[in-house]
């Protein structure tokens, strides 16, 4: 088969997949998870049911794929912020972006959250995020901008766990104060143990 066809087929597959994920997300957003059907997703996306079933066996697989795409985009944005920032401000910029992302995320209903957060993609994303923040802290510590009296991995865990509170903050100012407290905890200095 000529190469052009495989590119066209791949583009078509991506378009079908994206339309499916977008349609499912819109339906869940507008009316919740209860009663969501493959027929509704097919209708909303403009894709035939038979085609939809070729891509996804059930609603759970669609929602898991949507969530994986969301996580991938969050990680991509964190990496872009890191790359676009000078080394001296990189850790702070990434932590602020992570807090902003956490504040923008809607809370999923209990059933939806349980379904979305049990996948292997979530475990991989957490591991990647831990490594990413650990590396940023190590780099900042090497420049004397972050404390080096504790392992960078422990400080990364501190940051990520503290930043989960940003989702519950009532305002951007509150999120900004939270990030300030986290950054203060990372600063080198006379720290009593």
Tokens of residue 148, six digits:
């080096």
pTM of the entire predicted model: 0.79
Residue ranges of domains in the chain: 1-57, 59-193
Of 50-59, 114-123, 150-159, 181-190, the range with the lowest mean pLDDT is 114-123
The rounded percent of the chain whose pLDDT value lies above 70 is 86
Q: Higher model confidence: residue 130 or residue 60?
A: 130
Burial (CB < 10 A; 0-12, 13-18, 19+), residue 176, is middle
CATH superfamily label, 59-193: Tetracycline Repressor, domain 2 (1.10.357.10)
Furthest-apart CA atoms within the chain: distance in Å? 68
Confidence bin at 83 (pLDDT 50/70/90): very high
CB 74 within 8 A of CB 101: yes
Q: Please state, rounded to an integer, the average pLDDT across all residues of the chain.
A: 86
pLDDT(121) > 60: yes
Residue 6 pLDDT grade (very low, low, confident, very high; cuts 50, 70, 90): very low
Structurally, what CATH architecture does the domain formed by 1-57 represent? Orthogonal Bundle (1.10)
Higher-scoring residue by pLDDT: 19, 192? 19
Separation of alpha carbons 18 and 15, rounded Å: 5
> Is pLDDT at 1 greater than 50 in this prediction?
no
Higher-pLDDT residue of 190 and 155 is: 155
Q: How far apart are CA 149 and CA 126, in angstroms?
A: 24
């Amino acid at each position: 088969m000529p190469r052009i066809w495989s590119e066209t087929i791949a583009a078509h597959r991506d378009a079908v997949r994206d339309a499916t994920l977008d349609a499912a997300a819109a339906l869940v957003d507008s009316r919740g998870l209860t009663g969501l059907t493959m027929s509704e997703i097919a209708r909303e996306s403009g894709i035939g049911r038979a085609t939809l079933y070729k891509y996804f066996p059930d609603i759970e697989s669609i929602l898991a794929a949507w969530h994986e795409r969301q996580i991938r985009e969050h990680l991509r944005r964190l990496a872009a912020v890191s790359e676009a920032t000078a080394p001296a401000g990189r850790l702070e910029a990434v932590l602020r972006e992570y807090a902003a992302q956490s504040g923008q995320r809607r809370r999923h209903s209990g059933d939806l959250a349980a379904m979305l957060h049990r996948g292997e993609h979530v475990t991989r994303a957490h591991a990647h995020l831990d490594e990413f923040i650990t590396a940023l802290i190590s780099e900042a510590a090497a420049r004397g901008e972050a404390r080096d009296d504790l392992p960078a991995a422990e400080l990364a865990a501190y940051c990520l766990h503290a930043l989960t509170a940003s989702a519950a903050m009532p305002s951007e100012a509150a999120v900004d104060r939270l990030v300030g407290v986290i950054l203060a905890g990372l600063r080198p200095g006379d720290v009593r143990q």
